[in-house]
């Protein structure tokens, strides 16, 4: 295997201090105080998503006067639901809109409820304004399409809804009153399971959809009185329509086609496309709009380190972005929202050693006032830098990963942990702050996190290359990264462990059954061990789209039963020689406890020793603070026990 390791000193600005006391475990595993955020149109208040117990609530902060009590109010949705962290929207200076989700655990993607709530910034008049009532069997996906400054009581909402027996899944656009929930239908889309796009005059002229297998469909019209015309995408992979051009003749799309990743202009009449911003390796990770949010001006990519590119380098807002980024060299910067008049903006900053921090920007003077840190108790000087690396897998495919070394400067003959991310499809490891990597590195481990084939972030073809390759080629990628770490002399061959949750738990068990002599220990939690069981149990196969996805990703359980069984590590536990720890949450809906039970029964039947831990009140991940301390204490104990130098 060939490999490339990157060392870009210019991005590392916080001086590492060797021989510092390692951060307390309790501090490292605390969850962030704030996640998503949104600034009010007048710039006086900030809405943030705040973890409370095992869900996420809404907190409104006063940011106009730092001398006053900052918390205006905090409220949690009814029924144990959570605020969708990246969907906080100020409809006007008084009222906040948010969608709700159900959280199945810290590792699971939230499940949308289809409900939209509105509440005043001071906590008054909070109520559901759209969507099924709690307990309804109707499944709805909703999206706030636009707020209307000229009509401060109204928002535009897109949704598609179906009951278990329904046949029509067509998207619908409604005008919704944010105070009383009254709505009026604006449009019923000709396509199912999708969204809509309006031109600069507010006319809905482009719609997206998909079939049950996830294949995209598109239609457009010349004006509101014209018939819908099928639009055939000029790309061979999924695209995300973003905005109409100002003349209304074309749309800006984000492409996931390998070799053509980035932003494109597509002429609707001719179907012709022209590139605007491209990257050789990375999907568009974030689209950058001007301060009015009417025009796409750039995009963020992450081929290894984060990169921001602009369509027009001389655009005033592109100039502003570059000036703000220059104030935080070596960090990842996002201008996440402007006030209605464009005079102020919310700036978020993070790095590999710094969790997200918020600043208030005065766009005229370029002054920035610090507002809040998501994890203010973290001291970045005690943490490690994260370096991207690239390797060639055994079949020649280029893979990217991240290496985190202990902060004391040691780089050779280290105990090491291969941390396999969950998902696996669409999920990826990035350069930013990663709690688990920092925790392990602070305890002396070298940590490797690989974006194996099937991961997101590097194009649709790269992602789909992992389909039906669980336990085979995808696992070979993890093995190749392990051997790279050893061959580079970074890791002691006898002291490398493998660890992961969800799909990472699957890969952990597959790793020690496929390569029984490679790892010194293995720690798996909320893992998938029986692929046929994944087809039958859990929340994914409850919906037609979920079942279709499992057929694509794992194989059809009827026609591919033998292959699915062969790639299920529960059927190969007799090969295990590695010390093993298995953890799970009894309330896991994504990967039910039945997976844990099947594995432990198989281990017992084969007389394979193992340690185990089951949390009665946890789901797909560990949320309770006390449980998190217990879990990570056990993880560290187990890893340290099996990677201690010989003779100790």
Residue ranges per domain, the chain? 3-10+18-23+379-643
Query: pTM to 2 decimals?
Result: 0.91
Cα 494 from chain centroid (whole Å): 34
Sign of CA dihedral 338, 343, 346, 348: positive
CA–CA dist 368, 344 (Å, integer) = 10
Q: What's the order of all strands across the beta sheet hosting 183-192?
A: 139-147, 154-162, 170-177, 183-192
Residue 12: the pLDDT is 32
Residue 482: the pLDDT is 98
Instruction: List, in order, residues 6 or more apart from 542 with CB less than 8 Å away.
Output: none
Question: Bridge partners of 362?
Answer: 344
Instruction: Please report the DSSP string for 553-589 in residue order.
Output: HH--TTTSHHHHHHT-GGGGGGG--S-EEEEEETT-S
CB atoms within 10 A of CB 31: 14
- Output the 3-class SS for 128-156: EEECCCCCCCCEEEEEEEEECCCCCCEEE
Pair of tokens at residue 634: 């056990």
CA–CA dist 433, 386 (Å, integer) = 9
Instruction: List, in order, residues 6 or more apart from 261 with CB less than 8 Å away.
Output: 255, 278, 279, 280, 281, 282, 283, 284, 301, 459
Pair of tokens at residue 395: 């079949």
CB atoms within 10 A of CB 637: 12
> Which residues of the chain fall below pLDDT 50?
1-3, 5-19, 163-167, 648
Task: Name the CATH superfamily housing domain 3-10+18-23+379-643.
Answer: Alpha/Beta hydrolase fold, catalytic domain (3.40.50.1820)
Residue 138: the pLDDT is 58
Rounded to the nearest 10 degrees, the angle between the axes of helix 435-442 and helix 625-643 is 50
CA–CA dist 255, 222 (Å, integer) = 23
Residue 20: the pLDDT is 59
Nearest by Cα to 453 from 503, 524, 522, 500:
503
Sign of CA dihedral 642, 644, 647, 648: negative
């Amino acid at each position: 295997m060939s490999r490339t390791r990157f060392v870009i000193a210019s991005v590392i600005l916080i001086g590492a201090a060797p021989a510092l006391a390692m951060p307390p475990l309790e501090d490292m595993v605390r969850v962030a105080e704030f996640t998503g955020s949104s600034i009010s149109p007048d710039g006086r208040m900030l809405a943030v998503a705040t973890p409370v117990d095992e869900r996420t609530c809404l907190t409104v902060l006063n940011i106009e006067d730092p001398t006053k009590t900052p918390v205006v109010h905090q409220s949690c949705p009814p029924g144990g639901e959570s605020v969708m962290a990246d969907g906080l929207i100020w409809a006007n200076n008084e009222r906040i809109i948010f969608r709700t989700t159900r959280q199945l655990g810290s590792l699971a993607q939230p499940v949308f409820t289809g409900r939209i709530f509105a509440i005043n910034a001071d906590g008054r008049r909070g109520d559901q304004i759209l969507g099924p009532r709690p307990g309804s069997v109707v499944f709805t996906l909703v999206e706030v399409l636009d707020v209307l400054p000229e009509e401060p009581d109204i928002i535009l909402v897109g949704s598609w809804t179906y009951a278990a027996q329904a046949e029509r899944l067509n998207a619908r656009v409604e005008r919704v009153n944010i105070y009383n929930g009254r709505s009026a239908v604006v449009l019923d889309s000709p396509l199912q399971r999708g969204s809509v796009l309006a031109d600069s005059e507010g006319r809905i002229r482009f719609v997206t959809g998909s079939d049950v297998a996830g294949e995209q469909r598109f239609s457009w019209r010349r004006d509101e009185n014209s018939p819908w015309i099928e639009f055939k995408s000029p790309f061979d992979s999924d695209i995300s329509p973003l905005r109409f051009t100002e003349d209304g003749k074309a749309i800006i799309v984000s492409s996931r086609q390998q070799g053509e990743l980035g932003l494109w202009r597509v002429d609707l009449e001719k179907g012709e496309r022209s590139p605007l911003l491209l990257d050789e390796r990375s999907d568009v990770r974030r689209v950058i709009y001007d301060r009015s949010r009417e025009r796409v001006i750039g995009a963020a990519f992450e081929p290894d380190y984060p990169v921001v590119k602009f369509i027009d380098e001389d655009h005033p807002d592109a100039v502003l972005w570059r000036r703000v980024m220059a104030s935080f060299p070596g960090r990842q910067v996002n201008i996440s929202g402007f006030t209605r008049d464009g005079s102020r903006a919310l700036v978020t900053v993070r790095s590999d050693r710094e969790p997200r921090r918020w600043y208030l920007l005065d766009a005229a003077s370029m002054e920035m006032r610090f507002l809040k840190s998501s994890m203010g108790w973290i001291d970045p000087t005690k943490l490690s830098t994260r370096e991207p690396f690239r390797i060639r897998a055994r079949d020649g495919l280029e893979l990217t990963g991240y290496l985190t070394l202990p902060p004391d400067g040691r780089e050779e003959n280290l105990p090491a942990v291969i941390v396999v991310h969950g998902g696996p499809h669409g999920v990826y490891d990035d350069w930013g702050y990663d709690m688990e990597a920092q925790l392990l590195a602070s305890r002396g481990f070298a940590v490797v996190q690989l974006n194996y084939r099937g991961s997101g972030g590097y194009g649709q073809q790269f992602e789909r290359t992992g389909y039906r390759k669980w336990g085979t080629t995808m696992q070979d990628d993890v093995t190749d990264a392990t051997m790279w770490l050893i061959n580079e002399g970074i890791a002691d061959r006898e002291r490398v462990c493998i660890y992961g949750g969800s799909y990472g738990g699957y890969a952990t068990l597959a790793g020690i059954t496929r390569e029984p002599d490679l790892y010194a220990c293995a720690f798996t939690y909320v893992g998938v061990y029986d692929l046929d069981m994944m087809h039958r149990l859990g929340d994914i196969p409850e919906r037609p789209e979920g079942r279709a996805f499992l057929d694509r990703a794992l194989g059809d359980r009827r026609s591919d039963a033998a292959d699915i069984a062969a790639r299920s590590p529960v059927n190969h536990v007799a090969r295990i020689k590695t010390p093993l720890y298995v953890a799970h949450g009894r309330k896991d809906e994504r990967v039910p406890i039945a997976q844990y039970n099947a594995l432990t029964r198989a281990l017992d039947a084969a007389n394979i020793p193992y340690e185990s831990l089951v949390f009665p009140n946890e789901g797909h991940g560990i949320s309770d603070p006390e449980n998190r301390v217990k879990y990570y204490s056990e993880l560290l104990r187990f890893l340290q026990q099996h990677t201690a130098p010989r003779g100790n």
